[in-house]
Every structure is written in C-alpha cells, then in structure tokens.
Chain A
Amino acid sequence: MIRQEAPGPTAPGSCRWLLAAALLLVGAQPAASGTTQAAPGAVPGVQPEPAAAAAPPESAAAPAAQPEPGVSTQQSADGADEPPSTDGWNFEEEDDGWDFEDDEEGDDGWGFEDDEGGDAWSFGDEEEDAETWGALLRDQAADLVFFTGFAALVMVGFFRKSVWMKYATLAAAVAYLGFTKSQLISVVNVYGLMTGNMPVFRYNLAWYLFAGFTVVTTVLWGRLYCGRVCAFGALTQLMDRVVPAKLRVEVPAWLEPRAAWIKYGLLAATLAYFLATADIPAFRFVEPFWMFTLRGTTAMWIGLAVLLAATVFVRNLYCRFLCPVGAFLGILSKATVFRIKRWKECDTCKICEKACEWGAIQGPRIVMTECVRCDDCERLYADVKKCPHWLLLLRAKRRQRQAAPSVIPVRPVAST
C-alpha cells in the first residue's frame, strides 16, 4: 500500500510579478553602456543600438570601413598554409585572406555570415559539421565520461540499496563534483532558469547532462541529488559518520517540520533579492558551495566554519533547513513518481521515523519534499527481523500453523 505524502511546504510561487518586472526592465537595459555597476535586470538581450546602424556620422577619418563585396582571390602573405583557391571552391567569404588556425573548432555556425567559411579547409558542409561536433565532443569527452560514470554509481547504489556504494558515491561526489569540478546545482542556476540565461548547450554538454540528471531523478524518485550528488551534502553526511554520536542534538519533532520551512523562505528571499538587484555574487552568502573552489573572503570562511561547527551537533543542518537549492528541488519533488512504499503497520510503528536522519518521516507519512532517498527506511522495510510488517506476517503464519498443523503442512519459515 502506498501512501500519498501529506501537504508539505508549498512553493513560493507568488514572485511572478517580480519576474515580470525584471523582464520589463531587461528590455530597457542599455546593454553596452559600459557601466560596471549591476543595474536591475541587466541580464540578457543585448540590442545593438538602432541609431548605430546608420552611416558613420562624423568620423571622416574612416576611409575604408566598408568591405568591397566582390573583391576576392587576394592571397595573404602570412597565410602560407592556405591552399590556393584553384579547386573551384571560390566561396566569396573564403577569400578574405583570414586564415584562422583553429576555426574548425570555433566555427560553430552561430550564424555570422562571414564566419561560416572563413577557414580555407572547409570544403563541404557535412564534413565541416561532422568535424565541428566531433571536435566539440572530443573536447568534452572527459567530462562526459566522468559524469556518466558518477551517475551510474549513483543509480546502481540507489537501486541496490547498498550502503557501501552510497558512501562510495558520497566520497566521489566530494572529490569529483566538489573539489575537481566545483559545479554543483546552485541557486544561480535557478536565476538562469528564470531569466533564460543558460550556458550554451554545445559547449557545456556535461553540464547539461548533470542538470538534466538532477531534474529527471528528482521528478522520478525525489531529492536523490541532495542525498547523493551534492558535494556539500555528501561532505556533511560523511562528517556525520565521523562525529561522535553523543555530541548530536536531535531536533525536537515539533520543530523539525517548522524549521524545514526556513529554506523556502530563503529561496524566496534570494530570488527576490536577485530580481531586485541582479546581484549574483551575494549568493555566496546563502550557499556554501563556493567552498570547493577554496576561494572566499575571510567573512565567508568564518560563516562556513560556524555552519560546519553547527553541523557537528545538528546533522545535515544546512540541507534540511537552509538550502535554497534543496527547497527548489523539494518543490520539484512534490511531483515524485516512484514513492517509497509504506505498509499499513507504518501507521503506528515509529522505527523508521526514528531512523530517518532527515526528519522526512512524520508519523505514518513520508514528506517527499524532505526525503533525500537515503534508503535507510527502505532497508528497514526489507529487513524481516526489524520491520513489524514481516514480524506480524511471520507471527500470523506461526499461529496458522499451530492452529491447523495437520491440514496445511507449512514449511518452516526460514528462521534466522
């Protein structure tokens, strides 16, 4: 029997007007005004000033600003490596003499006419395209392979409910996603999502794989990302294994669900602040993920030290109560497809609730927005010696056997 989870915290979805305001402002932004201060909503859409398209006004000293369209076949002195254009491929734009060495990588077809065939070696579109994507993939192959391997570890550990694989995943998350790549899902990605400023797809395939993995697993199973992928969460979970248990303070049950709301407040506040000021670097005071870059101000390091010190006493303090990304994924995980199974015995049994390190089990229900799929409770469900569901089944069978031993010969249940 699968129970629906109870109404958890709701999305701070009412900042739509703020978004609209930001979009309005974006249109009015003097994109190339050269100011360094961040103006509100100064994000995307750079419009070349229309007036600038007119003829050059007072610059009389600009003799040959316009290229002569028909001129071609002039051989550049420095372009010794440029094959002579005797092969019949007389592309107009190819003969501008500019012969960039690495254009076969850089020539990415972003639609600038003059960029298209600027390199003299491109003889066919298909060949060029294949080469371009090949080069792109070759550049990013290492990242793609490493992340795919990591994702495989995450999923295999998750499906096998394996404890050691989970800790291997956490260690890999800290080492690879943390200190090596330092690319965790950040509230900055939520900013980017809101303002349509995502990294260029073809250059950041591994990042898109990472972000896609995060969203898909969250919708399918819940906050798997928080439980296994996020390097900071992994760090605090590993810390929790080292810290002596007697130091730990359990958050009282009445406080737990209330404190979990703080992160939604923080998410809303951070987004509102961003939409109002377009100030990104402030995110570092909300998220500790910068720590993996090892670059922070003294104030930030002190804040981090305080946070980690507090995490010694309250396990996964940041993830449970403060993380805006966790809040965002929590909202997504309201839609979780494959939920954790609950027995009817769960109505009264408290074993899992006590075991849950994330405060995600409240009475008979699992709060999906808080659950990070750590598998602790699922391992308990599967344990025939601990879960009352199996114990009751076993007792029922025994009783049945005692009541009518001669009628139904039951093989003794494997009793270990």
Chain B
Amino acid sequence: MRIPILALLLAGVVVMEGQSPFDPLLREQLGKLFPDAASFSPKEGSPPHFKAFAGNGDIVGFAFWTTELEPLERGYDGPIQVLVGVDLDAELTGIIVARHHEPYGYFSIDTPEYGAQFVRKSVRDRFRVGADIDSVATATITVRSATRAVRNGARRIARQFLSPDGGLR
C-alpha cells in the first residue's frame, strides 16, 4: 500500500509543479474576472495574489484564492475555494467558486446567481447574508462561509494594496 501512495504523492507534486503559474484553466478563470486584462502575474507576494495587467503594463486589479487569505474559514465540510477579483476602485470584478465539499453547494454557491451578486460590489459594502446576499434557507452554513471568505479576503487585499481614495496605495 505504501508504494502506490508514494507514487500518487509524486504524481501530485509533478502535477502541482506543472500547473503552478500558467495553468490554462487558471488563466481562463482569471480572464473571466478581468476580461480586459492583457496578462497576469503568477501568484506572488503576501498575502498571495495575482496581479492583472493592462496592455501597457499598468495594474488593473488583483485576484486571490479565498482559501489562501482566509485559510481558517470553513463551510459545512471544509474550505470553499473561491477565486475573487478586486479592481483598483476596490470593487469586486467577480468571483469563481472553484472547489468545495459542500453537500448543499450545488444549489447554493454553485449557481450563477450566487456569483453574480458580487460583481461590482464594493469592499465597503455590507455582505450580510439574508440582507445583502441572498440566503438559501437550507444551505445557510455554506452561503455564509463562502460570503465571509470573499468579504474578508477582499478587504485584506484592499488594505494591503489599495488606497481608499482609489488606485494603488
């Protein structure tokens, strides 16, 4: 049993190395968050983030994985991995719910309606589930956890990289 596990481990490492910065799927997801961006940085910095660049090399926004900025946040069963884009006006450009283990995720956070609520939402806004974000009566834990992760992660990025007056700090 030990050898297959080691083989799997090795395969995992190889896959991880192979896809790290320019994984096409990741590139596509970043492109969805920043349709106008010309290129993206690999993941870098602390907190870990991606930068989106315009054609002339200016930064147009930041993207991050909630699981890396809010690693302690848990849904019903584990972290909910969401890719979030924040532009220089500190507004969310969108979110992509990439992976989770939520049993009731398929009708709550996996729906396009859930993600659509975050588009052009400012990090200054409130993110109360039930008032600002639609609640799903039977999937409360899931929706609340995902929403908290998005909000707190985006605010962390804003504090770190953005000026409240707009633009970079």
Residues on A facing B (Cβ under 8 Å) = 17, 21, 24-25, 28-36, 38-40, 42-46, 48-49, 52-54, 56-65, 67, 76-79, 96-102, 105-106, 110-112, 114-115, 118, 180-183, 186, 188-189, 191-192, 195, 197-200, 203-204, 207, 278, 280-281, 283-284, 290, 292-293, 295
Contacts and interface: CB of A to CB of B under 8 A. Distances in A.
Given A32-B67, A59-B44, A292-B138, A199 B75 contact: yes
B164 A204 contact: no
12 contacts: A30-B16, A57-B42, A65-B45, A67-B169, A78-B124, A195-B77, A203-B144, A278-B101, A280-B102, A281-B103, A293-B138, A295-B106
A64 B141 CA distance: 37
Given A112-B156, A114-B159, A33 B76 contact: no
B160 A67 contact: yes
Contact of A118 (B26, B103, B137, B155): B155
The size bracket of the interface on B is 35 or more
B159 A98 contact: yes
Contacts of A77: 164-165
B124 A40 contact: no
B12 A28 contact: yes
Interface of B: 1, 5, 8-9, 12-13, 15-16, 19-20, 23, 25-26, 29, 41-48, 51, 53, 57-59, 65, 67-68, 70-79, 81, 83, 98-99, 101-104, 106-107, 123-128, 137-141, 144-145, 148, 151-152, 155-156, 158-161, 163-165, 168-169
Contacts of A189: 77
Contacts of B159: 67, 96, 98, 114-115, 118
A396 B158 CA distance: 85
A25 B11 CA distance: 11
The 5 closest A-B pairs by CB, nearest first: A182-B138, A30-B16, A197-B78, A34-B26, A97-B164
Contacts of B158: 98
A374 B19 CA distance: 56
A33 B16 contact: yes
A295 B103 CA distance: 12
